[in-house]
């Protein structure tokens, strides 16, 4: 995904797993991913303006994320849900507006840095008070329900897409801001954690996977409910096997960024496919079509992450143009 302009003629290979090819029009992959992230924030803001968010159902949804969490986590969530319930119109409008401003701020270059920084702070707050830390402490986290919490992925993307360059020729977009070693470690931790959640007792129990998928059918359009019924039928009676296969795929994805570029690309494609399958069959497009969704859930964010790790292509500028520049100087 990442394109880096360099001087010289056309070549076939580069260091650090970077492919070098003749320059055409240079595309800033990081900027494209930043704009995609901005777009998702805008979608979140629009979803927050839904009628459901102005009903008591929203505060009850927030309060429900406290269930099963340690008291030190649960009590602030309950307090927040009560506060939202008492001032629903004002607070929900504020929530929606903040998310719209984050999206607009990331979309415009002059406000990119403060907007990304603010998105990290906002994401951490929503992860706690709105998602109950994604269920990682109450045993309910699963790759199929958006663990470790979709909103924490916004914070991770903001860090990885920060407009800074630590490496002159970064092997992939995410390495430009934090360096390749840190970026690969963050990827490894994320996907290994998903593999772990897939194998927790609650998620490998009989009926766990099929029950989670079938529970998403309510309120969905007929065609999407049919897809989810098909997915439920496919895994019914095979819940443990499904969890194991999913965990193995997630481990392969986790280590993929440490492999040679061509193999890494294959594992990143696998990551995108897994993310999209989960998003459609298990998350029901984040339940956006059913109403009451606050965000598209983790699927699109995992796809953006995979693209941020796509091995870079170094754009080699044509020799003639550089000769012209030297003559002009």
- Per-position pLDDT tens, the chain of length 329: 544 443 334 333 333 345 444 444 556 999 999 999 999 999 999 999 999 999 999 999 999 999 999 999 999 999 999 999 999 999 999 999 999 999 999 999 999 999 999 999 999 999 999 999 999 999 889 999 999 999 999 999 999 999 998 876 899 999 999 999 999 999 999 999 999 999 999 888 898 898 888 888 888 888 898 998 899 999 998 889 999 999 999 999 999 999 999 999 999 999 999 999 999 999 989 889 887 788 999 999 999 999 999 998 754 444 434 443 343 34
- Total domains in the chain come to 1
User: pTM of the prediction?
Assistant: 0.86
Cα 62 to Cα 130: distance, rounded to the nearest angstrom: 6
State the Cα angle at 292 between 290 and 298, rounded to 5°: 85
Range of the domain at 26: 3-328
Give the DSSP letter of residue 216.
T
Laid out side by side, the sheet with 3-6 consists of: 3-6, 313-316, 19-22
């Amino acid at each position: 995904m990442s394109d880096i302009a360099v001087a010289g003629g056309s070549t076939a290979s580069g260091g650090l797993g970077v492919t070098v090819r003749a320059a055409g029009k240079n595309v800033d992959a990081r900027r494209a991913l930043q704009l995609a992230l901005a777009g998702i924030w805008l979608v979140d803001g629009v979803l927050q303006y839904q009628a459901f968010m102005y009903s008591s159902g929203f505060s009850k949804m927030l309060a429900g994320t406290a269930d099963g969490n340690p008291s030190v986590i649960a009590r602030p969530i309950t307090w927040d849900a009560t506060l939202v319930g008492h001032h629903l119109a004002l607070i929900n409008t504020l929530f929606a507006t903040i998310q719209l401003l984050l999206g607009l701020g990331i979309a415009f270059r002059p406000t990119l840095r403060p907007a990304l920084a603010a998105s990290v702070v906002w994401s951490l707050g929503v992860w706690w008070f709105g998602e109950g830390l994604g269920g990682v402490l109450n045993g309910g986290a699963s790759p199929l329900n958006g663990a470790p919490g979709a909103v924490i992925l916004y914070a991770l993307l903001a860090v990885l897409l920060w407009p800074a360059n630590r490496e002159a020729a970064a092997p992939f977009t995410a390495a430009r801001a934090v360096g390749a070693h840190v970026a690969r470690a963050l990827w490894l931790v994320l996907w290994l954690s998903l593999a772990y959640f897939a194998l927790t007792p609650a998620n490998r129990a009989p009926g766990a996977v099929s029950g989670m998928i079938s529970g998403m059918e309510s309120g969905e359009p007929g065609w999407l409910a049919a897809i989810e019924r098909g997915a439920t039928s496919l895994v019914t009676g095979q819940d443990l096997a499904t969890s194991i296969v999913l965990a193995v795929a997630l481990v392969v994805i986790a280590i993929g960024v440490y492999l040679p570029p061509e193999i890494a690309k294959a594992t990143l494609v696998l990551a995108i496919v897994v993310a999209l399958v989960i998003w459609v069959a298990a998350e029901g497009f984040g339940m956006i079509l059913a109403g009451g969704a606050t965000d598209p859930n983790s699927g699109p964010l995992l796809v953006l992450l995979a693209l941020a790790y796509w091995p870079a292509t170094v754009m080699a500028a044509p020799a003639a143009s550089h000769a012209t520049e030297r003559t002009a100087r």
